[in-house]
Chains A and B, each alone.
Chain A
């Protein structure tokens, strides 16, 4: 039997691809897959298929998939729905095993659409062909320079993230979510989330799997999803899930409270807890959790030390720690002594550690000393820095407070996460300065920082859970 990796590989990285419905038009507002593929740097064979043209963008065009001389790894179908079954039949005759159906208007639309869908799926099943879609942008792969997308996407740097979604919108990515591979499973009538999670699990280039799901197209797939996510976790991959939409299916039970309360969202929530997947509910949370998991080392316990320029952030942090179940480290004698030596004698040293008074005697020294102390403190599992950088005219540029240098120098030396929350108009400059520093994440808010800690912290021990 062919494994899921081999079966889905042609969708992400085909040696040759035919585009049925290829067009010669180019330019702004024209969605030309052939054009996108070429400018994306795809190295395989491109076969445009369109009986109207002899040539498309310098490539010989074919009347039918069956006329293509060599083997065809993948066919992208973007034609009117009525002729999709006959194109799929051509593909089957040609021996094609992988087809992306961009066209929409099938079972999700009307009776006629359902008839057409049943017709082409029957052919596909007979020859063991895998189908992505319908109603999809297909795939996008920054590692191997392949795209089936009719929307142009620029080449860029990427992180080891694999995306499976039910909308092309995630293909755009986000400033702090630069995936490597993405697939839009569309209506998911054949290739679905479960298949793709299994594919990414086998893919050594992928360390984090992001699942956007509206629902399962087929009953029973939820159970397989549980197994697929568990296997991904066993293989050391993180799974982040964005579940949206509520369908009535699966709620036929009416007699019991249990049945009435088992709404899809609630059930999904429990299942994701059970399998150790992270649930996000918006784009900000996605970027936050994704980058925390990618950039930060895992915490060994749930004890936080906070260094802050202002007491107010410390108060916010107390609330956030409570919300996310993080604990406050009992700082060691050594840490307290190190901070006390640089602080005015009247200042009590607690946690959060108020480093502002100590900064007055020399910000560079204070930042370094305090940060080193908490990083070396065995009672501390994670470090939070709340830094106030206002644009006071005449104050030196970012970094001369010493915080950027201190973090960049010290954080990579220890196996502890350092989260920085810069406050002030130079927030973005601080973010950029620390972007590529190992073990460091810059967050927008104190609450985000604790949300990020909770993603990388070990679970609360059972006896604590009840006591809280």
Chain B
């Protein structure tokens, strides 16, 4: 376990890492993540105060951005109405009140740990991919690359390769996806930046090699356009 961030969490007994915990490890390995700020939740604190604290941070991403509730109890955040995209201070204030209200409605005794503001890295040219890894008892750790988003298990359009992977493995994985055309130029969109995808996949491969305790990880979506790629949401399980 080479990752300092992972070791810290591991020593606290944490085995399932959510989005904000996973990103610490991804960032340690140079996998780009959207800029985010987290403010701890306090009962009774006003929306204006949260926003002031968020904006004071050096990581404040600027608008547009997503506001989310951090809670270990809420897995599917969009369904629970605890994620809002906002483009101004006014929208942000309203959204903070709404997502706190929705989180409390989610279930009795729900744990709310904080409020997260994260950069909206989507763009008209962005595509959603899945990047991940899983331990396989025969072949050891595998890297996955496929068509991401909420329909990932419908399309099942994912390729696997054993670690360590190479640049040509990434090309080969992409070329074998049924949906590979969406990565190239289509409907006026420029092709994705393959180098950014290769860079992230190779960094993920190294991260898994150096931290074999990671048994599963999903980066879904990995949002990538003609210029940059971002690990927008990630979860992992450690043993």
Contacts and interface: CB of A to CB of B under 8 A. Distances in A.
A466 B191 contact: yes
A30 interface: no
B161 A274 contact: yes
B134 A249 contact: no
A383 B215 CA distance: 49
Interface string A249-275: 110110111111110001101110110
B175 A261 contact: no
Interface in A432-468: 459-460, 462, 465-468
Interface centre among B133, B137, B161 (most CB of A within 10 A): B137
B201 to A, nearest CB: 13
Contacts of B140: 220, 222-223
B39 interface: no
A451 to B, nearest CB: 16
B36 interface: no
Interface size class for chain A? Answer: 20 to 34
Interface stretch (B89-97, B101-109, B114-122, B216-224): B216-224
Given A219-B138, A462-B168, A256 B180 contact: no
Contacts of B162: 223, 226, 270-271, 274
A253 B167 CA distance: 27
Nearest to A258: B132
B235 A250 contact: no
Interface stretch (B40-48, B60-68, B76-84, B151-159): B151-159
A274 B136 contact: no
A278 B158 CA distance: 19
Given A466-B175, A468-B175, A219 B137 contact: yes
A256 B146 contact: no
A257 B236 CA distance: 11
A274 to B, nearest CB: 5
Which of A216, A249, A271 is most buried by chain B, counting CB atoms within 10 A of its CB?
A271
Given A223-B140, A250-B136, A466-B184, A261 B146 contact: yes
A235 interface: no
B216 A255 contact: yes
Contacts of A250: 136-138
A108 B153 CA distance: 34
B4 to A, nearest CB: 23
Contacts of A459: 168, 172
A269 B178 CA distance: 14
Nearest to B152: A257
Interface in A206-256: 216, 219-223, 225-226, 249-250, 252-253, 255-256
B137 A220 contact: yes
B171 A274 contact: no
A251 to B, nearest CB: 8
Name the residue among A226, A459, A460, A465 with the largest chain B CB count within 10 angstroms.
Answer: A465
Contact of A261 (B156, B172, B194, B215): B156
Interface in A356-381: none
B6 interface: no
B160 A266 contact: yes
A448 to B, nearest CB: 21
B139 A226 contact: yes
Contact of A267 (B16, B142, B171): B142
A270 B144 CA distance: 10
B99 interface: no
Interface in B200-239: 215-218, 220, 235-237
B10 interface: no
B65 to A, nearest CB: 25
A261 B184 contact: no
B235 A256 contact: yes
B173 interface: yes
Contact of B139 (A222, A273, A468): A222
Contacts, number: 127
Contacts of A262: 134, 136, 142, 144, 160
A223 B165 CA distance: 14
A437 to B, nearest CB: 34
Nearest to A219: B137
A468 B173 CA distance: 14
Nearest to B197: A466
B216 A258 contact: yes
B138 A222 contact: yes
B62 to A, nearest CB: 31
Nearest to B171: A462
A466 B138 contact: no
Contact of B215 (A220, A223, A253, A260): A253
B235 A255 contact: yes
Contacts of B184: 466-468
A262 B181 CA distance: 23
Interface in B22-71: none
Contact of B171 (A219, A222, A257, A466): A466
B139 A223 contact: yes
A253 B135 contact: yes
A257 B161 contact: no
B7 interface: no
Interface of B: 16, 130, 132-140, 142, 144, 146, 152-153, 156, 158-162, 165, 167-169, 171-176, 180-181, 183-184, 191, 194, 215-218, 220, 235-237
29 contacts: A216-B138, A222-B140, A223-B162, A250-B136, A250-B137, A252-B137, A253-B215, A253-B216, A255-B16, A256-B132, A257-B153, A257-B218, A258-B142, A259-B134, A260-B153, A261-B144, A261-B153, A261-B158, A266-B158, A267-B139, A267-B160, A270-B159, A270-B160, A273-B176, A459-B168, A459-B172, A466-B194, A467-B191, A468-B180
